[in-house]
Structure 1
Amino acid sequence: MTGIVISDLTVGYGGPPVLDRVGLEVRPGTTTAVLGPSGSGKTTLLRALAGFVRPSGGTIQVGDKVLTSAQTMVAPEQRGIGYVRQDGALFPHLDVTGNILFGLPRAERRRATQVGPLLELVGLSPDLARRRPDQLSGGQQQRVALARALAREPDVVLLDEPFSSLDTALRASTREATLTALAARGATTVLVTHDQAEALSFADQVAVMFDGRFAQIGGPAEVYAAPATPEVGSFLGDTMLFTGQAAGPIVDCDLGVLTLAEPATGEVLVMVRPEQLVLEEPNGALTAHVVSVAYHGPDAMVRLSLPNSSTQLIARVPGHRVPHPNDLVGLTVPHPVLSFPGRS
């Protein structure tokens, strides 16, 4: 297995840097999801890893081999890296076998017997080997693209938003097949995505990128439950922010006196996620009126208003415990909440 180490990587296209002294380490055999809004530099990072663009500074090392530095620029085809694009980029005039074998050296393209095992590896039937791309579903096309990337037995696989064009059911099954195939090969993987749920469920490590820099790198549970900044927290999921006065382990804010995950003092910004709000019968606790309900099946998002306040809240509740608009409900926040230094 081979790891990746990126140090002080800077990439620009003639203007301000798209990547500004970026550093990232991906442990051998693990998956890192690079998550960020459009234009944050995610795809540029992947292209620099693949060798498609030349950085103006920094280094990229895969295993014990330096691929990019001030003195070195290894060609893409010599990097031992597989690349799967968003659209799969299959050749329409070739069948599945031809597409999978295309990236191999000419002398190895006759070994069609390896196509069946590769298709099975990505969760497809070998019976599809002679079909053209237009005879495959979107999910099947993406799995063929993955099989093509794995055919050369790369040390590293790069995935550039490969599931974004698929519908919900196909996305889940294709993602699961991809994870299984990558784990079977022991590949070190970097996934670029703007889908928060995908990053959190797919990867061992999540790297959140804004404006060409990483705002936070950590495990999925860490970056979601303990974001480094309010901006990271808000990007990873719905949040509510309240100004409060902290005194050690507690904070007083619009939701009453809450317990803090970490002690603080003075004015702070309190972050609460919708799933942290618990709705109860109104029994003397903080109360709110139900403004609207968005039912999703397994759960629902409930919009609430506090009495005598312009503050609006959002609570995520189980689908079998959905209140009705105009109901009066009690609110509690039973678990500790995060706070950030107050803003002047």
Structure 2
Amino acid sequence: MTSAGITISDLTVGYGGPPVLDGVSLQVRPGGTLAVLGPSGSGKTTLLRALAGFVRPATGRIEIGDKLLTDGQVLVAPERRGVGYVRQDGALFPHLDVTGNILFGLTRSERRRATQVGPLLELVGLSPDLAKRRPDELSGGQQQRVALARALAREPAVVLLDEPFSSLDTALRAATREATLTALRERGATTVLVTHDQAEALSFADQVAVMLNGRFAQIGSPEEVYDAPVTAEVGAFLGDIMLLPGCADGRIVDCVLGKLDLAEPSTGEVLVMVRPEQLTLGTPSGLTARVVSAAYHGPDAMLRLDLTDTATRLVARVPGHNAPHPGDLVGIAVPGPVRSFPKPGLLRPQHAADENPQA
């Protein structure tokens, strides 16, 4: 299999009404892994369908490697794009066994290349002994891996994954995701994963594109989009945040949590973004807060805190084994740099504190 990059330029797609994708552009390096993350209705699946050739864009270009797929005049058929597509439900044929499902739709020459179904099953972390089983004799995770093996049987340069793990339970989802990523890297396929699961996107891909309202709000590495969101809206979508009023002067911002270092210089009134895991708790001294509630999650716990002598509600994520209890008084510090946004921000202050910490 030869890896091929993806180039999308000024792509607009609609279904007769307002555009679902509104002039999006994107590049994925050959062999790279991109996660497209966004809420329901933001245009994620439409982007995959346009890449696969299932919908015709109104404007824009799509190229895979040096092959033009569409530019408003050209429209290459789905079967000629060199793209594998794995849907959320796997879409296996119930009357065919695993071998029949993997080989379904291949040409005679492709079938000769893929006659060894066993290695394909091993590639996706399944035993070749499953080759004669039917889909109803497989677990949900096994069915998704068979769907991936079917997509890889054509030796596509690009594999598109449309929320393929969302119907699986937590442990099975993690194991299936890891097996899928290993198989795709083994083949060197360029991969685009669509998901609304923030943790999945950040752990799966080497590049994350946050899609809001049919546009890319930010594209970057997982660390960049999480630690340095370009807007408060992006920051909140990727995880809990608190937005606190502050006054910035260069690399220092003064807010209810004291004078904090800024990751990027700013001046004037701002909203300071603090994530729950940035708060560290200790013995009561200096800045203190009282624990209002604690939600224990095993590895960690989410705490609601009331900052002493203010009306400020905070949320902290701390290790579960030594989490304080409701009513405890704790000291608070923010050791690392924080981000800020111009005031007014896109979200009201204390966003995370207003959410249920168990959610």
8 A Cα contact 2:52 2:78, kept in partner: yes
* 1:269 matched to 2:271: yes
Secondary structure of the corresponding residue to residue 320 of structure 1:
helix
Misfit runs of 4+, over 6 Å: none
Matched AA of 2:326: P
Secondary structure of the corresponding residue to residue 321 of structure 2:
coil
What is the CA distance between 1:319 and its match in structure 2? 1.6
Task: Give the match for residue 306 of structure 1.
Answer: 307
8 A Cα contact 1:36 1:193, kept in partner: yes
Task: Give the match for residue 161 of structure 1.
Answer: 163
Secondary structure of the corresponding residue to residue 322 of structure 2:
coil
Task: Give the match for residue 328 of structure 2.
Answer: 327
TM-score computed with the length of structure 2 as normaliser = 0.94
8 A Cα contact 2:114 2:153, kept in partner: no
Task: Give the match for residue 352 of structure 2.
Answer: none
Task: Give the match for residue 77 of structure 2.
Answer: 75
* 1:183 matched to 2:185: yes
Q: Cα deviation per residue 1:117-148 (whole Å; 9 max; x = unaligned)?
A: 00000000000000000000000000000000
Matched AA of 1:172: A
Pair 1:25–1:109, CA change in 2 (3 A): same
What is the CA distance between 1:259 and its match in structure 2? 1.2
Secondary structure of the corresponding residue to residue 323 of structure 1:
coil
8 A Cα contact 1:36 1:194, kept in partner: yes
* 1:220 matched to 2:205: no
Task: Give the match for residue 232 of structure 1.
Answer: 234
Task: Give the match for residue 200 of structure 1.
Answer: 202
What is the CA distance between 1:251 and its match in structure 2? 1.0
Instruction: Output the CA distance in 2 between the equivalents of 1:156 and 1:100.
Output: 17
Q: Could you tell which deviates more after superposition, 114-123 or 255-264?
A: 255-264
Task: Give the match for residue 120 of structure 2.
Answer: 118
Matched AA of 2:22: D
Pair 1:135–1:321, CA change in 2 (3 A): same
Task: Give the match for residue 317 of structure 2.
Answer: 316
Instruction: Output the CA distance in 2 between the equivalents of 1:335 and 1:2.
Output: 40
Residues 254-293 of structure 1: pairs in structure 2 closer than 5 A: 254-283=256-285, 285-293=286-294
What is the CA distance between 1:308 and its match in structure 2? 3.3
Aligned length: 343
Pair 1:206–1:158, CA change in 2 (3 A): same
Residues 11-22 of structure 1: pairs in structure 2 closer than 5 A: 11-22=13-24
Residues 139-150 of structure 1: pairs in structure 2 closer than 5 A: 139-150=141-152
Instruction: Output the CA distance in 1 between the equivalents of 2:130 and 2:85.
Output: 22
8 A Cα contact 1:86 1:161, kept in partner: yes
Task: Give the match for residue 10 of structure 1.
Answer: 12
What is the CA distance between 1:257 and its match in structure 2? 1.4
Matched AA of 1:301: M
Instruction: Output the CA distance in 1 between the equivalents of 2:255 and 2:14.
Output: 44
Instruction: Output the CA distance in 2 between the equivalents of 1:153 and 1:108.
Output: 9
Instruction: Output the CA distance in 2 between the equivalents of 1:2 and 1:158.
Output: 13
* 1:43 matched to 2:45: yes
Instruction: Output the CA distance in 2 between the equivalents of 1:219 and 1:319.
Output: 29
Matched AA of 1:290: V
Instruction: Output the CA distance in 1 between the equivalents of 2:220 and 2:154.
Output: 30
Q: Could you tell which deviates more after superposition, 88-97 or 258-267?
A: 258-267
8 A Cα contact 2:35 2:205, kept in partner: yes
Instruction: Output the CA distance in 2 between the equivalents of 1:78 and 1:325.
Output: 61
Instruction: Output the CA distance in 1 between the equivalents of 2:250 and 2:189.
Output: 46
Matched AA of 1:325: P
What is the CA distance between 1:44 and its match in structure 2? 0.1
Instruction: Output the CA distance in 2 between the equivalents of 1:38 and 1:156.
Output: 24
Instruction: Output the CA distance in 2 between the equivalents of 1:18 and 1:263.
Output: 36
Matched AA of 2:301: A
What is the CA distance between 1:250 and its match in structure 2? 1.0
Identity value in percent: 79
Instruction: Output the CA distance in 2 between the equivalents of 1:84 and 1:22.
Output: 23
Q: Cα deviation per residue 1:25-79 (whole Å; 9 max; x = unaligned)?
A: 0000010000000000000000000000000000000000100112100000000
Secondary structure of the corresponding residue to residue 136 of structure 2:
helix
**Unaligned 5+ residue runs, structure 1?**
none
Instruction: Output the CA distance in 2 between the equivalents of 1:293 and 1:315.
Output: 10
Matched AA of 1:137: S
Structure 1 vs Structure 2 CA RMSD = 1.1
Instruction: Output the CA distance in 2 between the equivalents of 1:111 and 1:36.
Output: 37
Matched AA of 1:92: P
Matched AA of 2:162: D
What is the CA distance between 1:111 and its match in structure 2? 6.7
8 A Cα contact 1:103 1:152, kept in partner: no
8 A Cα contact 1:83 1:149, kept in partner: yes
**Unaligned 5+ residue runs, structure 2?**
346-359
Task: Give the match for residue 354 of structure 2.
Answer: none
What is the CA distance between 1:309 and its match in structure 2? 2.7
Aligned residue among 84, 94, 102 for 2:96? 94
